[in-house]
């Protein structure tokens, strides 16, 4: 089960609390089951060794129905019987072919939260050394100016202008892609649907990068002057297919090659599934070759291993860390005790004050886990439907960790516009604060004091911080 924490301006809504804090698994509980179809047909993503020819199409048509084509990736989608997959893979002009892989990003459940009185900085931004409690000043000399961050997610809520400055959202390049899978046919662009989301996952993720507006104050973000390109690749329930995600990656890549040539471009993907899809892999490889830096969540599968595309080596993957001060009373910025929201994260001893969440995916053999960042009880705007009711949730998941690192990468790219994906990953890993295997005693608001433990497979290189990463960027 999963949990989230909601804070609304009008009222606090309490919905069935659960025993652990996470989003739903980013992979299917039964690997490969996302490929199943009641009709016995599967949507297959076929990547060719060269641009498609009439002869290629004719040969593929013998094995099924041709769907949409992505010429930028030398790719064709085919609906076919599952039994035909091996025959397609064996064709001499086929580089790779895999069933369209399902992707998820769906936090659920809620418990009570308190308000934001007393400050504009949140613990998670303090933990990555972007902000400091008791002040309104940033602790780093960069803010993301001139950097573009594509958020491939559920899109934005219709109320996004109540949370974000309009000039920070590149509406002219925002897109929505739907379809894919086994029985949904072609992947198509869906005009303007990017700002009609009812899931709110993409809005919450965006708020970590930009910060967000409350009626009486502004809450800081990792890269508040970056420009966000919202790309909706997941449906209104927070699920989707790798074929649609590949379209979103291609869109950002084409921007990087054309109107954003010479500009730093980052992609955040707080989503995942159990298998690496051939089409998604081709899109990632093309994006990285074009100079795009991709950051993704590690997944919420715990000891069952990482999700994809986060586990794919060219992607910077992020595990979810937490802070031992959560849900405790401590000395606040004023005299006396305060709720943990108002307490200072002690950066000088960050490792001793941090833990890895039990839901955060551990790296298995052949999987690449890079760094960890705050993914436990991260606050941001979140709504349950398309209403004008403005509300804020504390969410837990590697989906929440990933945009912290995407924001740090945006700061690094502002300092060094020529930054590549490989160099960004190297710097993040070398500058990370090592977090040794261990256990921490924390407070779970549902059950009280608990002990969380993790091994060396849970942390990657350690805890990412903005100041250390920037100091190493040159």
Taking residues 280-304, report their average pLDDT: 97
> Quick one: pLDDT band at residue 134, thresholds 50, 70, 90?
low
Query: Which of 307, 274, 272, 316 has the alpha carbon at shortest distance from 404?
Result: 316
Contacts of residue 295, defined as CB under 8 A and 6 or more positions apart, other chains included, come to 266, 267, 268, 269, 315, 316, 317, 318, 402, 403, 405, 406, 409
Cβ neighbours, 10 Å, residue 308: 26
Give me the residue label for tokens 């599967």: 42
pLDDT above 90 covers a percentage of the chain that reads: 69
- Dump pLDDT digits (tens) for 4-20: 443 333 222 222 223 23
- Give the three-state DSSP class for 168: helix
Q: Which residues pair with 393 in a beta bridge?
A: 6, 380
Using the predicted structure, report yes or no on whether residue 3 has a pLDDT greater than 90.
Answer: no
Domain with CATH 3.40.50.200 in the chain: 4-31+105-471
- Dump pLDDT digits (tens) for 189-228: 998 899 999 989 999 999 999 998 876 678 889 999 999 9
Using the predicted structure, report yes or no on whether residue 422 has a pLDDT greater than 90.
Answer: yes
Q: Between helices 398-415 and 421-431, what is the axis angle to 10°?
A: 110
For residues 414 and 469, is the Cβ–Cβ distance under 8 A?
A: no
Dist CA 304 CA 310 (whole Å): 14
- Read off φ and ψ for residue 152, nearest 5 degrees: -90, 105
As its CATH architecture, domain 39-102 has 2-Layer Sandwich (3.30)
Give me the residue label for tokens 């609390």: 17
pLDDT number for residue 104: 87
Domain with CATH 3.30.70.80 in the chain: 39-102
> Quick one: pLDDT band at residue 83, thresholds 50, 70, 90?
very high
- Dump pLDDT digits (tens) for 359-402: 999 999 999 999 999 999 898 888 766 666 778 888 899 999 99
Dist CA 112 CA 154 (whole Å): 25
**What is the dihedral sign for C-alpha 273, 314, 319, 252?**
negative
Give me the residue label for tokens 């399902």: 102
- Dump pLDDT digits (tens) for 14-48: 222 232 344 433 333 333 333 333 347 899 999 99
- Dump pLDDT digits (tens) for 430-452: 999 999 999 999 988 778 899 99
Give me the residue label for tokens 């989003």: 23
Dist CA 174 CA 156 (whole Å): 10
User: How far from 252 is each of 32, 67, 230, 261, 310, CA to CA, in Å?
Assistant: 28, 22, 10, 11, 18
Taking residues 98-102, report their average pLDDT: 94
Which residue intervals of 155-277 are DSSP H helices? 201-210, 242-257
Element (H, E) at 41: strand 41-48
Residue 323 in tokens = 């802070």
Using the predicted structure, report yes or no on whether residue 339 has a pLDDT greater than 80.
Answer: no
Residue 269 in tokens = 């993907």
Taking residues 105-116, report their average pLDDT: 43
Contacts of residue 334, defined as CB under 8 A and 6 or more positions apart, other chains included, come to 118
Contacts of residue 137, defined as CB under 8 A and 6 or more positions apart, other chains included, come to none
Quickly name the fold that domain 4-31+105-471 has. Answer: Rossmann fold (3.40.50)
Using the predicted structure, report yes or no on whether residue 113 has a pLDDT greater than 70.
Answer: no
Dist CA 151 CA 290 (whole Å): 18
């Amino acid at each position: 089960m999963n949990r989230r924490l909601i804070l609304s301006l009008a009222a606090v809504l309490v919905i069935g609390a659960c025993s652990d804090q996470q989003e739903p698994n980013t992979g299917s509980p039964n690997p490969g089951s996302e490929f199943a179809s009641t009709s016995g047909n599967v949507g297959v993503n076929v990547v060719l060794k060269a641009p498609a020819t009439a002869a290629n199409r004719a040969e593929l048509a013998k094995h099924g129905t041709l769907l949409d084509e992505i010429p930028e990736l030398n790719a064709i989608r085919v609906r076919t019987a599952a039994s035909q997959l091996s025959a397609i893979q064996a064709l001499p002009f086929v580089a790779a072919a895999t069933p369209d892989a399902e992707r998820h990003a769906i936090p659920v459940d809620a418990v009570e939260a308190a308000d934001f009185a007393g400050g504009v900085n949140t613990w998670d931004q303090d933990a990555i050394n972007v902000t400091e409690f008791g002040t309104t000043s940033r602790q780093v000399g960069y803010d993301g100016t001139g950097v573009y961050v594509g958020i491939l997610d559920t899109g934005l809520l219709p109320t996004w202008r109540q949370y974000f400055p309009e000039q920070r959202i590149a509406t002219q390049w925002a897109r929505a892609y739907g379809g894919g899978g086994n029985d949904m046919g072609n992947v198509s662009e869906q005009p303007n649907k990017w700002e009609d989301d009812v899931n709110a996952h993409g809005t919450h993720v965006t708020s970590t990068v930009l910060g967000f507006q409350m009626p009486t104050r502004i809450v800081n973000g990792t890269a508040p002057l970056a420009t966000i390109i919202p790309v909706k690749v997941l449906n209104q329930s927070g699920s989707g297919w790798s074929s649609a995600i590949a379209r979103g990656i291609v869109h950002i890549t084409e921007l990087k090659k054309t109107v954003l040539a010479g500009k730093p471009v980052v992609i955040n993907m707080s989503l995942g599934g159990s298998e690496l899809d051939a089409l998604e892999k081709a899109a990632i490889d093309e994006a990285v070759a074009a100079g795009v830096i991709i950051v993704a969540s590690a997944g919420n599968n715990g000891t069952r291993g990482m999700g994809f595309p986060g586990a794919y080596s060219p992607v910077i993957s992020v595990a979810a860390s937490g802070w031992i001060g959560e849900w405790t009373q401590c000395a606040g910025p004023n005299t006396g005790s305060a709720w943990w929201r108002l307490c200072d994260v002690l950066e000088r001893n960050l490792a001793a004050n941090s833990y890895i969440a039990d839901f955060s995916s551990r790296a298995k053999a052949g999987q690449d886990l890079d760094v960890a960042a705050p993914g436990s009880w991260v606050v941001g705007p979140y709504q349950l439907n398309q209403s004008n009711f403005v509300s804020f949730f504390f969410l837990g998941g590697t989906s929440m960790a990933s945009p912290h690192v995407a924001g740090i990468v945006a700061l690094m790219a502002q300092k060094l516009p020529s930054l590549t994906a490989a160099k960004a990953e190297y710097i993040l890993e070398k500058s990370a604060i090592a977090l040794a295997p261990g256990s921490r005693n924390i407070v779970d608001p549902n059950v009280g004091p608990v002990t969380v433990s993790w091994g060396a497979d849970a942390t990657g290189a350690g805890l990412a911080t903005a100041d250390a990463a920037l100091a190493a960027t040159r």
